Chain A
Amino acid sequence: MDPIVATTVSVISAATPLLLAANGELVAEKAGVLNLGVEGMMLVGAVSGFAVTLITGSATLGILAAASAGALLALLFGLLTLGLMANQVATGLALTIFGVGVSSLVGAGFVGTPVERLPRLDIPGLSDLPVLGPLLFGHDALVYLSVAMVALTAWFLGRTRAGMILRACGENDEAAHALGYPVIAVRFAAVLFGGVMSGLAGAFLSLSYTPMWVEAMTAGRGWIALALVVFAAWRPWRLLIGAYLFGGVTILQLHAQGLGLFAVPSQVLSMLPYLATILVLTLIAAGSGRRRLDAPACLGRPFRPPA
């Protein structure tokens, strides 16, 4: 495979978990809920997907299990923040810590065992094309799902009535309530969706990216996904760009080291993805001061139905 094509394929792989998790979080935040527990949900998704695939031998069941595990943790978050009005930030952080711990516990028996990587798409004629083959037709199901979900999310939020109601709940929950929309139920559904997507992101890590289970294997990707939502100004298509940008810098810094390109210490090169994110966020904030207006107005505020 041509090195440039191979590198691009690596970038797509690196960006996919970020894209999946950030997509779910975007929908949750659009509804007004700030769920900081993405890292925890990704990890329980990763361990469940891995365990079920290992035990049953079926990757499909594994992916379903991962989505369910993410949803379960999101359900817990929803009960606490939407049902009991707990502080969203604190609950989200607690969820992350809980997710890390519970996934380590569950996964303890599975460490050190490999599993079959998710099957790659293999269309006889198309997958063999020299450049477009591996680039467009050689990925596994979750990669295609990640891009499809971005399109679906953009269409849902922008073009459907249900999506508009969801956005309304995030912009002005009291007005939405006054109009008769079930704010809590809508937010709950959004949070569950976020959980499912984070679980799938985790499953991608443990079934496709590095087909094994290791403790805390997300290595901070959940936090990057959270930053990506802000970076994308809560717009799905910009999320795609952000995820690929971040994935790209992560991979390219390793390539730069291998080529001996820059006489910069490797530690600085490791920082590049995070510096890129900060740089872009700063430029955006400085450029159009309206960036702050893009955040859902009720983000993070608990909704108390007026008496």
Chain B
Amino acid sequence: MTLKTTRRTLLAGAAATGALALPGSRLLAAEQVKAGWVYVGPIGDHGWTYTHDQGRLDVEKALGDKVVTTYVENVAEGPDAERVIRQLAASGNDIIFATSFGFMNPVIRVAKQFPKVKFEHATGYKTAPNVAVYNARFHEGRTVIGTIAGRLSKSGIVGYIASFPIPEVVMGINAFTLAMRKRRPDAQIKVVWVNSWYDPGKEADAAKALIDQGADIITQHTDSPAPLQVAEERGVSGFGQASDMRKFAPNAQLTAIVDHWGPYYVERVKAVLEGTWKSHIIWHGLKEGMVQIAPYGPRVPEEVRAEADAVKQGIIDGTLHPFAGPIRDQAGELRVPEGQSLSDEELLKMDWYVEGVQA
């Protein structure tokens, strides 16, 4: 049965669609916002993705009926990511948060095809009129924990379990090393790359290997609590990553760098609600509360706590810069003279290690 499409019905249809479209077409402010989150790992990783989801829950708490949230977890960085992001954009989400570095190119591609949808990419560097980038100064947290490690390590060897050699991870290793060596000039930071953000088995193996090689403090830039579990069992100490992991290591965890995304997420979803959303690149840290330090564990004595707090306050006040000179690289060359410090642009491109790092 064929549908008879006369010119009349076509024009009527077009008019009806136009009439429907008009009211919705441009109120800048909206009644309700649909927000979507794309996670690289499972919410239960108790690390990176867990804290992003806590942020999403904060948005639901703060905005109630005005927001409808969805999330997709375990989205691998790669071709699958583009499919997921496109699907979220096509299903009516007004703002999408892509929470991993590897989603950068898929986000840019999908953003071109959905100019009305706002995208927020975590820890990236490519923006567009409808793509904003947000990042946290995790390295500020590393400076604080490096201070603690410098004071508490007996062997002077730290095991650093790292994921991928991207600037964010390199920055973290360097900030930690600089802070530790200020208190312990002979400190050695041994880095093992597990080439994954989340692989508890491999992370545990790496921790065991590093402890067997003399490390008495373990720190990580991977997302599972497995290294801390190993540390707890072997009687050494460590630092939690992205969230407070003391449940897994009540004695071993000295403190943790905690990511706190809630306030930023609420702010951005509100901006979409009010029609004031604009693309930007922001890099917030201890001062803005995006990075927090967890309460200290039982093995941290009073004077070390006080010193760590002072370092934290110094960073917040701006009197202490995590990358203030003099800084020498692994070859001994002076990269940053005394009195100067590395700029944000230089940090974002960091591809060299400071003295004391064995990567």
Contact = CB atoms under 8 A, between A and B. Distances in A.
Interface of A: 1, 3, 6-7, 10, 14, 108, 110-114, 117, 205, 209-212, 214-215, 217, 219, 250-251, 254-255, 257-260, 266-267, 270
28 contacts: A1-B212, A6-B208, A6-B211, A10-B208, A10-B209, A10-B212, A14-B205, A110-B44, A112-B45, A112-B46, A117-B233, A205-B201, A212-B200, A214-B224, A219-B199, A251-B208, A254-B205, A255-B209, A255-B213, A257-B191, A257-B193, A257-B206, A257-B209, A258-B159, A258-B192, A267-B195, A270-B193, A270-B195
B210 interface: yes
Given A117-B233, A212-B229, A258-B190, A250 B205 contact: yes
Contact of A111 (B46, B199, B209, B214): B46
Contact of A210 (B42, B43, B229): B229
A260 B358 contact: yes
Contacts of A255: 209, 212-213
Contacts of B202: 219, 254
A267 B248 CA distance: 29
Contacts of A110: 44
B42 A258 contact: no
Contacts of B358: 260
Nearest to B215: A258
Contacts of A205: 201
A209 B204 contact: yes
Contacts of A1: 212
Q: A-B pairs with the 7 shortest C-beta distances?
A: A111-B44, A266-B193, A254-B209, A112-B46, A6-B212, A257-B192, A210-B200
A214 B212 contact: no
B226 A212 contact: yes
B70 interface: no
A263 to B, nearest CB: 11
Interface size class of B (residues with CB under 8 A): 35 or more
A258 B210 contact: yes
Interface of B: 42-46, 50, 74, 159, 190-195, 198-202, 204-206, 208-214, 224-226, 229, 233, 247-248, 358
A38 B43 CA distance: 26
A211 B201 CA distance: 10
Contacts of A211: 229
A18 to B, nearest CB: 12
Nearest to A14: B205
Contact of A251 (B42, B205, B213, B247): B205
Given A114-B247, A254-B206, A214 B44 contact: yes
B50 A209 contact: no
B41 to A, nearest CB: 9
B247 A7 contact: no
B226 A210 contact: yes
A7 B229 contact: no
Contacts of A210: 200-201, 204, 224, 226, 229
A111 B42 contact: yes
A298 B321 CA distance: 69
Given A114-B229, A251-B209, A258-B213, A217 B201 contact: yes
- In the complex, which of the residues A3, A112, A211, A250 has the most CB atoms of chain B within 10 Å of its own CB atom? A112
Nearest to A251: B205
Given A3-B213, A111-B42, A260-B190, A219 B201 contact: yes
- In the complex, which of the residues A111, A214, A259, A267 has the most CB atoms of chain B within 10 Å of its own CB atom? A214
A111 B39 CA distance: 16
Contacts of B50: 112
A266 B74 CA distance: 24
Contacts of B247: 112-114
Contacts of B225: 114, 212
A209 B204 CA distance: 8
Contacts of B210: 254, 258
A7 B212 contact: yes
B195 A266 contact: yes
Given A209-B204, A255-B209, A260-B358, 4 more contacts: A111-B45, A210-B204, A254-B192, A258-B159
B42 A215 contact: yes
Nearest to B212: A6
A108 B208 CA distance: 27
Contacts of B212: 1, 3, 6-7, 10, 255
A270 B213 CA distance: 19
B190 to A, nearest CB: 5
Contacts of B194: 270
Contacts of A259: 190, 213
B2 to A, nearest CB: 43
Nearest to B232: A114
A212 B229 CA distance: 10
Given A10-B205, A214-B200, A266 B229 contact: no
A261 to B, nearest CB: 11
Nearest to B44: A111
A14 B201 CA distance: 9
A7 B193 CA distance: 18
- In the complex, which of the residues A113, A209, A217, A255 has the most CB atoms of chain B within 10 Å of its own CB atom? A255
Contacts of A215: 42, 44, 74
Contacts of B200: 210, 212, 214, 217
Contacts of B74: 215
A62 to B, nearest CB: 18
A239 B213 CA distance: 30
B44 A112 contact: yes
Contacts of B206: 254, 257-258
A209 B210 CA distance: 17
Nearest to B224: A214
Contacts of B42: 111, 214-215
Contacts of A254: 192, 202, 205-206, 209-210
A267 B204 CA distance: 18
